[in-house]
Structure 1
């Protein structure tokens, strides 16, 4: 089942001011509490940073998301958004559970196929895909989300030359976000629907998709309702198999308790960051869990009092969903070794902790933002309990290489050789931006599974 919020361990009473203590799945808590020696050995042997990936939790999330759709009275095909994490183990878990994959490049499609996911369960997304990706998708009977009329024409030519028929979704702009760079305008969509009917021997129009920024369940439900209407229109215009509405990803994840998040937003200011750095936007770390969001989307009233799921059912519409972060919730964390501590508390009021690694391994920097859940300090030896304010810096020669700009109130002094654990980093944080800068090797991923009855966890390198 999807991780219940009761199972996640909340912060203890009397938390530090501005603390954003990360919620933890019981498996993560067990690893951190009972297997620190193993984690330290892996970090020493495999290098810092080290990503710990936990496919068992991914599998729980798949089961829970399926349950959420079923409870909402909706039929949905789940496609794991491959771009959210490059680890092979998640694709293998998806294949074992009969879950599809959303791929947006030829290498992602190849990895999905190599991981055991059959082509008919793979969706191809992304703007203006190239002919190589089209040809491979066609060969394996993938579902292709087409972004423009020109792409549709190119894909039809590829299908004609291959003497095949390709299944397509037409990606359409929504009324709520008409300026999106993704998808077709109303006039373009009208032309594309007509073209699909003309080219029915090579193009099978199966439905519609859309792209939304943000996590509004109401806006996603309204957009899905628009796509249902597009399906009904396409059926009237000669595409009777238009029955799919792809609602995309954008299912939120809760990283911290909402109370802490609200307090943080209310009190946040530049003085809380190194060099008085100011950030305009943050991921909504205290948002609603993904299963709750699914229920809200499906229950949203459309056409008066009818819910989205009931309308879809009445018209024979199935949903497609492309979660990345939501399936990876709690399914991995990142370890870094402390390389040096520059204690500036007497002059600046806080220290700078330099780790072996860089901010490239926490991709929130890509969005000119900060990854806000507090890192967990794993001390090599016991020290006195006292609040130790510090930022966390990478070991590159870039002034902007801060893993955490925010001043963290560590519960005790940080020392060289200590380890930091950044929790819940599997979704988009681990590897989106990682680079062999300074000729450093890309960080490794260790796949861990807990043994039965408290046995030592089993591990292997991802991909091996």
Structure 2
């Protein structure tokens, strides 16, 4: 037990337990949602629990922003949405409308992409040791298959139809379990029979968010492309995977957090380790990062000269600002630490809906407290509704603008990319939160919304007139 007479204890007791604010970038649609006096409450009544809001129009804008970068660089580009980042059907439909492909890793994802309107030829099939069913479906629908092992090549060669493939390279120095070594690539190029397997290119995936290594490895693989052409293979595609950063919060907010983070800001006085955080401020996100990749060491020029299209497989970056997660406050408890009071809220959901817990970390952008009304800044933690001690949506004592009360809503911003459903489960037999699809009304007045078909067969459309037009 700490000694109150110890000078270190007195310094600790005077420290501020309130975390630095992490205000999220918000689009006009999100601001309109928060400003509406009843829309969130109506959605909550219809869904009966926590829910996610998807705004697919933002996905379309993100796709067009990536495409504009390719056009500016004069490079033929291909965009494959990494479907594992979010299961919502409305995202796949938006990709189909915008002319983007989809990256899938299971038979179920492949079928969902086809059902959503994606042409089979616009699918990229990734992942290790693909099942026979997935390989057969991929070949039948003319999808490109990213080959992870020589054994997969042998299995494809035994199928009656010709397969389209790219060879996935194991990056030099990587300990990843995915990809082919340099020697295995040499064998694959010479082993492939063009009559049964069509080699269309190469691919790789890198961890981290640095643009330069992606460009350098792409330049290296261009030489592989030329080598493969020498063996008669019609190589035209090079995929650099995903990992395009997303900018969640302003630079100053992020610097203030990183420079000042300490255990006192957290409910159990256990701050995540510094390298476990996602870089919530990213100075050159998404399309800007792609522009830097293409500009590095003349990569765009080489791609144009050699007639090679560059494929990208973004997930999170295509979902940037395309969704939020909504929880109702179902309990409020007042606690104190080091002589300072704070609130511990219990939300009507679990931390499984904010999946940074995967990485012993935390989702840091501040939730909005709804309804919006004036009050006194109140340090607040948020716990989940389960019986698990570690079920905390926000361990950090967030400086909410007022004291929350039971019945309020917490709206966590920009959660469509991986956060809202990647590791959700029906723990305690609680249903997985449904997704509400929000669209602008056709006449421009307010919103219309439905439940996403991946969660519910309900297809009724509910009209909400903008508050200032009621």
Q: Distance in 2 between matches of 1:47 and 1:403?
A: 19
Aligned twin of 2:362: 370
Contact kept, 8 Å, 1:221 with 1:297, in 2: the verdict is yes
Aligned twin of 1:3: none
Aligned twin of 1:340: 331
Contact kept, 8 Å, 1:447 with 1:460, in 2: the verdict is yes
**What whole-Å deviation, never above 9, does each CA across 1:370-390 have from its counterpart, x for those lacking one?**
00000111138x5x6212111
Contact kept, 8 Å, 2:254 with 2:280, in 1: the verdict is yes
- What are the equivalent positions in structure 2 for 1:273-312 lying under 5 Å apart? 273-280=266-273, 281-287=276-282, 288-301=284-297, 307-312=298-303
Q: Distance in 1 between matches of 2:213 and 2:156?
A: 30
Aligned twin of 1:88: 89
Task: Report the count of equivalent residues.
Answer: 433
Aligned twin of 1:21: 23
- What are the equivalent positions in structure 2 for 1:119-138 lying under 5 Å apart? 119-138=120-139
Find the partner of 2:380 among 390, 397, 406: 390
Q: Distance in 1 between matches of 2:300 and 2:37?
A: 46
- What are the equivalent positions in structure 2 for 1:40-189 lying under 5 Å apart? 40-157=41-158, 159=159, 162=160, 164-175=161-172, 177-189=173-185
- What are the equivalent positions in structure 2 for 1:204-283 lying under 5 Å apart? 204-239=198-233, 241-280=234-273, 281-283=276-278
Q: Distance in 2 between matches of 1:355 and 1:44?
A: 16
State the shift of 1:405 in Å.
1.5
Aligned twin of 1:8: none
Q: Distance in 2 between matches of 1:63 and 1:315?
A: 25
**What whole-Å deviation, never above 9, does each CA across 1:257-279 have from its counterpart, x for those lacking one?**
11211121111122211211231
Aligned twin of 1:6: none
Find the partner of 1:427 among 409, 413, 417: 417
Q: Distance in 2 between matches of 1:216 and 1:434?
A: 29
* TM-score, reference length from structure 1: 0.91
**Structure 2 vs 1, CA of residues 343 and 117 (structure 1 numbering), >3 Å: closer, same or farther?**
same
Contact kept, 8 Å, 2:19 with 2:261, in 1: the verdict is no
State the shift of 1:242 in Å.
1.1
Q: Distance in 2 between matches of 1:430 and 1:57?
A: 16
Q: Distance in 2 between matches of 1:279 and 1:332?
A: 25
Gaps of 5+ in 1: 1-15, 302-306
Gaps of 5+ in 2: 1-17, 454-458, 460-470
**Structure 2 vs 1, CA of residues 135 and 36 (structure 1 numbering), >3 Å: closer, same or farther?**
farther
Contact kept, 8 Å, 1:178 with 1:185, in 2: the verdict is no
Aligned twin of 1:193: 189
Contact kept, 8 Å, 1:79 with 1:102, in 2: the verdict is yes
Q: Distance in 2 between matches of 1:213 and 1:68?
A: 22
State the shift of 1:411 in Å.
1.1
Contact kept, 8 Å, 1:174 with 1:226, in 2: the verdict is no
- Cα RMSD of the aligned pairs, angstroms, is 1.5
Aligned twin of 1:400: 390
Contact kept, 8 Å, 2:239 with 2:310, in 1: the verdict is yes
SS class of match (2:268): helix
SS class of match (1:404): strand
Deviates more, 1:346-355 or 1:313-322: 346-355
Q: Distance in 1 between matches of 2:263 and 2:155?
A: 50
Aligned twin of 1:322: 313
Asked whether 1:360 is paired with 2:352, we answer: yes
**What whole-Å deviation, never above 9, does each CA across 1:102-125 have from its counterpart, x for those lacking one?**
001110000001111110000100
State the shift of 1:238 in Å.
3.0
Contact kept, 8 Å, 1:131 with 1:155, in 2: the verdict is no
Q: Distance in 2 between matches of 1:137 and 1:81?
A: 16
Q: Distance in 2 between matches of 1:28 and 1:89?
A: 18
SS class of match (1:249): coil
